[in-house]
Amino acid sequence: KAGVTQTPRYLIKTRGQQVTLSCSPISGHRSVSWYQQTPGQGLQFLFEYFSETQRNKGNFPGRFSGRQFSNSRSEMNVSTLELGDSALYLCASSLEQSPLHFGNGTRLTVT
Amino acid sequence: DQQVKQNSPSLSVQEGRISILNCDYTNSMFDYFLWYKKYPAEGPTFLISISSIKDKNEDGRFTVFLNKSAKHLSLHIVPSQPGDSAVYFCAARYNNNDMRFGAGTRLTVKP
């Protein structure tokens, strides 16, 4: 069974640009969650999607948004990038009320 | 909004000895707790979990203890092996798949 796939693995953007990250969940998993990892802050919860609906949301500004498609694939978008958005963005999928399965992440660098 | 805290950023132990990683939480609505292990350049992988109705769960060398009155969680690894060297994240879940993570503890097991 294929794991969670995130693309691209690395991205370099400049301040003010926008970026879209992609996540393909494990087959059969309908829940997809996104996390931001920065040194010292651990994994900060961004949002969770289930059946194309945002079900939970963390404390991030509106510049961070996402969506989920009918095949459970998900995208995350960050607009008007800031230097502080540089981080590892992790996507995870799961069955309902089961442990999360993470992808290897997208490393975003904002210059 | 750090609802899950890992106050020790790092821990170093000798091979064969016990490793004890600690985690505290503030939200009494959490109903399920998990530990994840993360190697560099990879996403976190699920290690062990415990429901809030239990106080101990064991899986091989790994045991998780939950003290609900103290809102404290710990992971014991016995005996520790060099391959256990990684960053360990404590996580707590409430509200479907809304999962909150601590900042992580870097464990180093010395041969």
Measure the CA–CA gap between A28 and A73, rounded to whole angstroms: 11
Predicted local distance difference test score (pLDDT) of residue B1: 60
Predicted local distance difference test score (pLDDT) of residue A96: 84
Q: Is the pLDDT of residue A1 over 70?
A: no
pLDDT tens per residue, range A63-94: 999 999 999 999 999 999 999 999 999 999 99
**Stretch 40-99 of chain B: residues touching chain A, C-beta under 8 Å:** 41-46, 49, 89, 91, 93, 95-99
- What b/e string do you get for B49-76 counting C-beta neighbours within 10 Å, with b at 16 or more? bbebeeeeeeeeebbbbbeeeebebbbb
Q: Is the pLDDT of residue B2 over 80?
A: no
How far, in whole angstroms, is CA A40 from its chain's centroid?
19
Predicted local distance difference test score (pLDDT) of residue B59: 96
Q: Which residue of B has its CA nearest to A92?
A: B43
Contacting residues for B53 by C-beta, under 8 A, at least 6 apart: none
Yes or no: say if B51 and B32 are a contact pair by the CB < 8 Å rule: yes
Q: Which residue of A has its CA nearest to B50?
A: A99
Question: Which of A43, A56, A104 minimises the CB distance to B89?
Answer: A43
pLDDT tens per residue, range A6-65: 999 999 999 999 999 999 999 999 999 999 998 777 899 999 999 999 998 999 999 999
Beta bridge partners of A12: A109
Per-residue DSSP letter, A32: E
CB contacts < 8 A (A, B): 65
Task: Name the more confident of A96 and A36.
Answer: A36
What average pLDDT does chain B have?
A: 94
Chain A nearest CA to B18, separation (Å): 24
Is the Cβ pair A104, B98 closer than 8 Å? Answer: no
pLDDT tens per residue, range B44-88: 999 999 999 999 999 999 999 999 999 999 999 999 999 999 999
Predicted local distance difference test score (pLDDT) of residue B41: 83
